[in-house]
Amino acid sequence: MQLQTGNLFSIEAKRGADERIDMLVTGQRLNVERIVSMGHASPEGFWYDDSRVEWVALLSGAAVLEFEEGSTRHDMRPGDYVLIEPHCRHRVAWTHADEPTVWLAIYHER
């Protein structure tokens, strides 16, 4: 038996560098990612528009998600999660600049 192990909080994040995205699990209909942001936000006018369901939890740091429909903004703190339906256009409006914002994102098809 071969175990694949790691630690979700074992990271090196630097402000100004690209977000770090680690694929933790990949499958035919499922992806699990750890995303580390540090002062990152989606480019102005950019919207994520995925054909899959996305469940995202904030493990550490702080962030604001913005949803195109109704110009809704959703503040997130550690422990918060959100289920995003397919083609629900959204973006990262803000992440904490001085501490890593660690996300756990699960993408799956219906």
pTM of the model: 0.88
| Proportion of the chain above pLDDT 70, given as a percent | 95
Number of domains the chain contains:
1
Q: What percent of the chain has pLDDT over 90?
A: 79
- Distances from the Cα of 106 to the Cα of 5, 90, 99, angstroms: 18, 16, 23
Q: Is residue 61 in some structural domain?
A: yes
Asked if 60 and 78 count as a contact pair (C-beta separation under 8 A), the reply is yes
Identify residue 62 by its one-letter amino acid code: A
* pLDDT computed for residue 42 by the predictor: 95
pLDDT digits (tens, 9 = 90+) for 78-108: 999 999 999 999 999 999 999 999 999 999 9
| Residue 71 falls inside a structural domain | yes
Binned at pLDDT 50, 70 and 90, residue 15 comes out as: low
By residue range, what is the domain housing residue 37? 20-108
Return the closest-CA partner of residue 60 out of 76, 40, 84, 43.
76
Beta bridge partners of 76: 63
Domain harbouring 51, CATH code: 2.60.120.10
